[in-house]
C-alpha cells in the first residue's frame, strides 16, 4: 500500500504529539517509509507544507527528506478534473482557493486500489461545494482514506524506549 499524506497529517503531527524535538523517531520513521516507497506526498501537497515558516517546513526543504517523501509523478489532470467535479459545479475562483491542493492529493489515488489518502480531516457529509472534506470527496471518487491515527497503527510506529532506558538506567 502507498500512503499519500495530506499536509494536515504532517502539520498536526508536528504541532501536537510528534514535534521534531519531542519525538524525532517519528520523523526518521517517515523518512524510512518514504525511502521504502510506502509513504509519499504529491508535489502540490509537498509544496504546501514546504511553504511554511517553521521547523516542519525547514525539514521539508532538506534534500534527503524531499527525495524520500515527494511522489515522483506528475499529476494526472484528468483525475484532478474528476475530483473537482465531486465538489460540485460550477466552482468559482474563491471556491478553488478554499479547496486548495486537496484535489491533487485525491487524484493521485484515483483508480489505484493500492493507494490510500491519509488525512486529519473528518467526514462531514452534509457539507457541500468547496466546503466538502477530503474523506467525503474520497468516498465519492472511490479512493481509500484513513486517519493519521489509523495510519500510524497500520504501519506500527513505535519508539524504542528500551534503548532509552539502557542509556538512562
> Where are the domains positioned within the chain?
2-168
CATH for 2-168 (3.20.20.105, 3.20.20.80, 3.40.50.2020, 3.40.50.1010)? 3.40.50.1010
As given in the structure block, the three cell numbers for residue 128 are 457541500
pTM: 0.93
- Is the pLDDT score of 166 beyond 80? no
DSSP string, the chain: -EEEE-HHHHHHHHHTTT-TTT-HHHHHHHHHHHHHTSEEB-HHHHHHHHTSSSHHHHHHHSHHHHHHHB--S---HHHHHHHHHHH-SSPPHHHHHHHTTHHHHHHTTTT-TTEEEE-S----TT--GGG--HHHHHHHTT-EEE-HHHHHHHTT----HHHHHHHH-
pLDDT category at 89 given cuts 50, 70, 90 is confident
Give tens-digit pLDDT for 124-160: 999 999 999 999 999 999 999 999 999 999 999 988 7
Amino acid at each position: 500500500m502507498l500512503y499519500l499524506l495530506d499536509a494536515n497529517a504532517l502539520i498536526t503531527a508536528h504541532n501536537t504529539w510528534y514535534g521534531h524535538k519531542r519525538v524525532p523517531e517519528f520523523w526518521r520513521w517517515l523518512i524510512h517509509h518514504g525511502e521504502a516507497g510506502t509513504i509519499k506526498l504529491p508535489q502540490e501537497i509537498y509544496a504546501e507544507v514546504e511553504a511554511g515558516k517553521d521547523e516542519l517546513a525547514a525539514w521539508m526543504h532538506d534534500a534527503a527528506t524531499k527525495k524520500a517523501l515527494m511522489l515522483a509523478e506528475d499529476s494526472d489532470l484528468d483525475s484532478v478534473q474528476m475530483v473537482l467535479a465531486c465538489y460540485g459545479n460550477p466552482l468559482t475562483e474563491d471556491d478553488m482557493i478554499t479547496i486548495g491542493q486537496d484535489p491533487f492529493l485525491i487524484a493521485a489515488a484515483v483508480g489505484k486500489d493500492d493507494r490510500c489518502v491519509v488525512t486529519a480531516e473528518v467526514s462531514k457529509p452534509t457539507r457541500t461545494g468547496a466546503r466538502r472534506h477530503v474523506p467525503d470527496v474520497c468516498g465519492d471518487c472511490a479512493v481509500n482514506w484513513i486517519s493519521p491515527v489509523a495510519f500510524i497503527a497500520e504501519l506500527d510506529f513505535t519508539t524504542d524506549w528500551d534503548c532509552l532506558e539502557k542509556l538512562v538506567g
